Amino acid sequence: MIRTLKAAMIAGVACVLAANAPTALAQGGKKPSVHKLPGGASSLNETYQDWQVMCQQGSAGARCAAVQQAFNNQNHQRILSVQLMPENGRTTGIIVAPLGVALAKGVTLQSDGQKVGEPMGFTACVADGCLAPVSFNESQFSKLQNAKKATVKLTALTGQDIVLPFSTKGLSDAVARVNTLMH
């Protein structure tokens, strides 16, 4: 069970990292510098309160993300994954929502009941869930990380709104650590 969970987490991080890799090339027109994990590690997993920093070393260098996942207490299936990483003055990442969501409605992040940015559309669904890329400027991310209550709002195929809470405890430290590891 733990191996399966860890594999799912690594797969989720791989999704966000792969999704963001072309962005770095497109924005700068040059290859990003190759980063290595401390001590020559092939992977890294650290906990910052309710967030984890997960990194994988690959041939193109280390890639890291701050990750938080929520699971159904009854069947232990993942119902939400929030994966974030600082990139060029923004915080980008991906939301992995459960299957069975209304794709056209997208996903909205809320900080203390207020929208953070515009609703984001889903780009694909895979076996683990439906993917929605996110991107926040400094002001938007500041609102999110200082929130007392943060949620992901989406719509089920039945039309019912679903609000999934996630914790911001440790978010600032986790994203700061990702930034340190990647620069």
Structure confidence at residue 100 (pLDDT): 93
Distance CA 114, CA 150 (A): 9
**Structure token digits, residue 120:** 């984001």
In this predicted model, which residue has the larger pLDDT, 46 or 36? 46
**Structure token digits, residue 179:** 């930034």
Structure confidence at residue 33 (pLDDT): 60
Tens of pLDDT, residue by residue over 66-118, are 999 999 999 999 999 999 999 988 999 999 999 999 999 999 999 999 999 88
If you average pLDDT over every residue of the chain, what do you get?
84
* Mean pLDDT along residues 22-27: 38
**Structure token digits, residue 105:** 């409605």
Read off the amino acid at residue 128: D
Q: In what order do the strands lie in the sheet with 161-166?
A: 114-115, 108-111, 150-155, 161-166
Q: Are 53 and 181 in contact (CB under 8 A)?
A: yes
Structure confidence at residue 39 (pLDDT): 84
* Domains present along the chain, CATH in parentheses: 2-182 (2.60.40.1880)
Structure confidence at residue 5 (pLDDT): 37
